Structure 1
Amino acid sequence: MLCLHTLNLNNFDRIWDWTVEKETIQPIFNKTCRVYRQIAHIAIKAIKEISMKLDDLLSAMTPEIYQRLVQAVELGKWQDGVPLTPEQKEYSLQAVMLWQAKNNHDPDHMTIGTNGQIAIKSKQELKAIFQSEMVAKLKPQSEE
């Protein structure tokens, strides 16, 4: 019998030298399993409710709101200059990551793609990206 942990009553006496009879342990073990199942059921129900609320939040989040949250998390302050509280920063970062996981079909370096994985580009890929975006290349003037 397995129940959210690795106790196996059939092999109990081989694993440990128990002086207590299996009949004494069995009811306690069964009650523990029932409690764990109830906790798991409650947790799954709560996760489903949270998931539905998160879906509502993400569907209401426009790309403009996403960009403002990204900027706020990166700079540590809102657009009006007011610093983010640690709680605001934490929740804003979570919202950014969730939005990326749902909507970021072409992830940049160190962002989350729709597959849920962080996109990590190689040094060569990053060089190619930044060199193609280069506006001007300045050369120092020689002193002659």
Structure 2
Amino acid sequence: MLSFNEMIESMTHDVYESMKTSIEIGKWPNGQPLTAAQKEYSLKAVIAYEHLRNLPEEKRVGFIDRTRPDGNQHGCDPLQPEVLKILNS
């Protein structure tokens, strides 16, 4: 029996894409719905695959492109501290 890590190492790109699609639509390619546990484990497998294969950030699950057409970012960087201004009235 394969361990989780061995399974991820042996996963093909086609299986990865199929799992991503199944998670997105909530059912397997044969039409059978995913259970809550299947969704959880499939998502863990997809994330582990992306990490193992060092996929670029923009190709990973959960990536949100915040780039405007002019190349700037929408909003502020959530990892940078914000400066608060206190105004007296």
Q: Indicate the percent of aligned positions where both proteins have the same amino acid.
A: 30
Matches of 1:120 and 1:104, distance apart in 2 = 18
Unaligned runs of 5+ in 2: 71-89
Aligned AA for 2:66? S
After TM superposition, the score normalised by the length of structure 1 is: 0.41
One of 69, 72, 82 as aligned partner of 2:22:
72
Q: What residue number does 1:88 align with? A: 38
Q: Which has the higher contact order (CA 8 A, sep 6+)?
A: 2
Rounded Cα–Cα distance in structure 2 between residues aligned with 1:80 and 1:54: 24
Note the alpha carbon deviations across 1:56-101, whole angstroms, 9 max, x for none: 1111100011011000000000111111011111110110111111
Between Structure 1 and Structure 2, the one with more helix by share is: 1
Alpha-carbon distance between aligned partners in 1 of 2:36 and 2:4, rounded to the nearest angstrom: 21
Cα deviation, residue 106, structure 1? 2.0
For the aligned residue pairs, the C-alpha RMSD in angstroms reads 2.5
Match of 1:102 in 2: 52
In structure 1, the gaps of 5 or more residues are 1-51, 113-117, 129-144
Letter of the 2:28 partner, please give it. W
- Where do residues 1-144 of structure 1 align in structure 2 (5 Å cutoff)? 53-108=3-58, 111=60, 119-124=63-68, 127=69
- CA change 1:76–1:100 in 2 (3 A) is same
Aligned mates of 1:106, 1:71 — CA distance in 2: 19
CA distance in 1, matches of 2:44, 2:18: 14
2:84 corresponding residue in structure 1 = none
Cα distance in 1 for residues equivalent to 2:54 and 2:22: 19
TM-score scaled by structure 2?
A: 0.64
